Chain A
Amino acid sequence: GNSVTQMEGPVTLSEEAFLTINCTYTATGYPSLFWYVQYPGEGLQLLLKATKADDKGSNKGFEATYRKETTSFHLEKGSVQVSDSAVYFCALSDGAGTASKLTFGTGTRLQVTL
């Protein structure tokens, strides 16, 4: 079956530091890949997505590249801000059948300090 593995958190960084959150996946076929972000007390929001190999998703300074050869979709940001403190979830969708179900990683908590 499908699975997503994320690096364990929490990740604590100083403001303006470089961020990488690792994500690897196992799936049959050609899944779409997503990063969702959850701010405290809120639901999940889509941060970025990629639908095929070598696609780069980007949003709000965050980037992730769909690497089929390493089955990875690592999230990066060049300079984090305190407002980026949240939980980040990597997910995949295989798009199979009539309802596409998402498989989530366990989430990585990011805390950014001044």
Chain B
Amino acid sequence: NAGVTQTPKFQVLKTGQSMTLQCAQDMNHNSMYWYRQDPGMGLRLIYYSASEGTTDKGEVPNGYNVSRLNKREFSLRLESAAPSQTSVYFCASSNLAGGPYEQFFGPGTRLTVL
């Protein structure tokens, strides 16, 4: 039982390049989330997916797109990377049946945009 896995662990991009961050969970959770973590700002929600086939914007969605490929997988795409997107990205999942709605996190992807 691997929990939540993310690939890649590290990535360096040049401004304007695109990339997709992959996330998968094997806990049969309905909901999945993408966060970014920046120094002094905690975690901020980018996008989330309440269930397979649905996605919604979080607090900071600009510059990102997501795809809920199936129940297990939720990807985050940067179409044209900018230095302001340099951050650590975390994927999380949650099973909403009955609460208390705790989320389980992956190990993160450290992205640098030059």
- A-to-B contact residues, CB < 8 Å: 32, 34, 36, 42-46, 49, 51, 89, 93, 95, 97-102, 104-107
Contacts and interface: CB of A to CB of B under 8 A. Distances in A.
Contacts of B25: none
Interface of B: 4, 31, 33, 40-43, 45, 48-51, 54, 56, 58, 90, 92, 94, 96, 99-108
A83 B51 CA distance: 37
A79 B45 CA distance: 34
B101 A32 contact: yes
Given A42-B107, A100-B31, A89 B43 contact: yes
B48 A99 contact: yes
Nearest to A45: B105
Contacts of B50: 97-99
